[in-house]
């Protein structure tokens, strides 16, 4: 695409009229980026951002902020004591056990059970050096295909 004198004049006229870059591009048969690039090279007056300034973006809440906080106990007077129920803190589990409880070295990190259940745990057997799992779980996690299987496909 070449910018002829007619196209440049039309770009300037539409730009000064306040048309959007995508609208100018549609009228001239070029892309919006082509219009913006040419306007920049011609040093035409910059446009205000279409993003509304002063509008507050929606607040993203973290997981910690979404968790209910225990209410504090409030006392008004010695005779009038009001207690609010205090929510128990959720049980915290270690994020990733690194060593077996009775042995040395890293332990198998194969999850057993549902993470939401109380009895959820990791395998805990000695891990294969350089792997996060024990022999049994490595066999399940890492599937090795024979060369003949891949050639047959």
For residue range 91-131, what is the model confidence (pLDDT) as tens digits? 655 554 444 455 567 889 999 999 888 889 999 899 999 88
pLDDT in tens, 36-88: 999 999 998 887 766 666 666 666 666 555 566 666 665 555 665 566 677 67
Q: What is the pLDDT of residue 90?
A: 64
Compute the average pLDDT of residues 8-36.
91
Cα distances (angstroms) measured from residue 116 to each of 19, 82, 104, 112: 56, 34, 28, 11
Q: What is the pLDDT of residue 126?
A: 92
User: Which residues on neighbouring strands pair with residue 99, listed in sequence order?
Assistant: 106
Compute the average pLDDT of residues 128-135.
90
C-alpha 41/C-alpha 35 separation (Å) is: 10
CA angle 144, 148, 149 (to 5 degrees): 60
Q: Which of 4-13, 83-92, 141-150 has the lowest mean pLDDT?
A: 83-92
Q: What is the pLDDT of residue 70?
A: 63
In the block, tokens 């194969």 appear at 110
Phi and psi, residue 145, nearest 5°:
-95, 140
- Its pTM surpasses 0.95: no
C-alpha 28/C-alpha 8 separation (Å) is: 10
Structure tokens at 89: 């803190």
């Amino acid at each position: 695409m070449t910018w002829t004198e007619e196209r440049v004049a039309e770009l300037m006229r539409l730009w000064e009229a306040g048309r959007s870059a995508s609208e100018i591009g549609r009228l001239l048969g070029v892309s919006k980026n082509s219009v913006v690039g040419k306007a920049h090279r011609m040093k035409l007056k910059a446009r205000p951002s279409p993003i509304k300034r002063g509008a507050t973006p929606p607040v993203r809440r973290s997981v910690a902020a979404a968790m209910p906080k225990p209410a504090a106990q409030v006392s008004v007077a010695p005779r009038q004591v009001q207690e609010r129920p205090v929510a128990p803190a959720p049980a915290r589990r270690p994020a990733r056990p690194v060593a077996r409880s009775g042995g040395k070295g890293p332990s198998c990190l194969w999850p057993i059970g549902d993470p939401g259940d109380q009895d959820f745990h990791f395998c805990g057997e000695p891990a294969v050096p350089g792997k996060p799992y024990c022999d049994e779980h490595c066999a399940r996690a890492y599937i090795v295909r024979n060369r003949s299987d891949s050639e047959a496909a």
